């Protein structure tokens, strides 16, 4: 969740900071005439929502045998993993910005720019601290609003965790059979060795 401060002293401080950034008196006077600390906050809230709603992020991993991911994002092996072949859906995967996450020791601080270039923006989406490097994450960023659908042939495998309950397994089977005839369904066997998994077809 992202929010903008309502603290009057912080807003006043930011307002004064903004007033001191203009290159000439004309633009500064125009700013002071049209904005107050409160209306400046309203503007930030409006543009923040616009900014967020016009970008979508999908997160993937390059490592199927990543046990922490199964624990954190697949309900401790009770959920499932979707495996995609990006070459079978060029429109979706190449129609956005798809790249690995860059893991850094400290988050970078970026100077605000009302008209940033795309390369600057991507640094906001494709950096995480080193604490997360075990995820080996790839992100797809899309700049259009609304839902984005993947081609059915791009979904190559659905892999069920070894703790999946029979009712959940049967429901997934029905969905895959009815909607993804070329997708292979597997279930993970309970791991016996670290970072090594065995799959059985369903």
pLDDT digits (tens), the chain, 202 positions: 445 667 788 788 878 887 887 778 888 888 888 888 888 878 777 766 666 666 778 899 988 888 888 888 999 999 999 999 999 998 888 877 889 999 988 876 654 444 445 565 567 788 888 999 999 999 988 876 667 889 999 999 999 999 999 999 999 999 999 999 999 999 999 888 776 788 999 8
> How far is residue 139's CA from residue 123's CA, in Å, rounded to a whole number?
12
User: What mean pLDDT value characterizes the chain?
Assistant: 83
Which pLDDT score is estimated for 114? Answer: 42
Q: Which residues contact 196 (CB under 8 A, 6 or more apart)?
A: 65
Which pLDDT score is estimated for 146? Answer: 66
Show the beta-strand stretches assigned E in 34-142: 56-61, 80-84, 97-100, 102-104, 127-129, 137-142
Which pLDDT score is estimated for 40? Answer: 81
DSSP label at residue 189: P
**pLDDT, tens digit (0-9, with 9 covering 90-100), for 119-178:** 655 677 888 889 999 999 999 888 766 678 899 999 999 999 999 999 999 999 999 999
């Amino acid at each position: 969740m992202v929010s903008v401060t309502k603290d009057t002293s912080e807003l006043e401080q930011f307002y004064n900071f903004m007033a001191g950034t203009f290159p000439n008196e004309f633009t500064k006077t125009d700013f002071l005439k049209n904005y107050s600390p409160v209306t400046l906050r309203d503007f930030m809230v409006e543009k923040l929502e616009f900014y967020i709603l016009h970008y979508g992020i999908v997160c993937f991993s390059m490592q199927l045998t990543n046990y922490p991911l199964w624990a954190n994002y697949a309900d401790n092996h009770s959920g499932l993993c979707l495996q995609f072949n990006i070459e079978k859906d060029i429109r979706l995967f190449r129609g956005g910005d798809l790249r690995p996450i860059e893991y850094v020791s400290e988050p970078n601080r970026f100077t605000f720019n009302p008209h940033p270039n795309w390369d600057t923006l991507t640094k906001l989406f494709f950096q995480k601290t080193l604490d997360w490097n075990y995820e080996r994450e790839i992100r797809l960023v899309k700049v259009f609003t609304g839902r984005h659908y993947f081609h059915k042939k791009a979904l190559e495998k659905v892999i069920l965790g070894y703790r999946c309950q029979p009712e959940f397994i049967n429901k997934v089977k029905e969905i895959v059979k009815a909607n993804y005839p070329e997708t292979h369904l597997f279930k993970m066997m309970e791991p016996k060795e670290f970072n090594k998994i065995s799959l059985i077809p369903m």
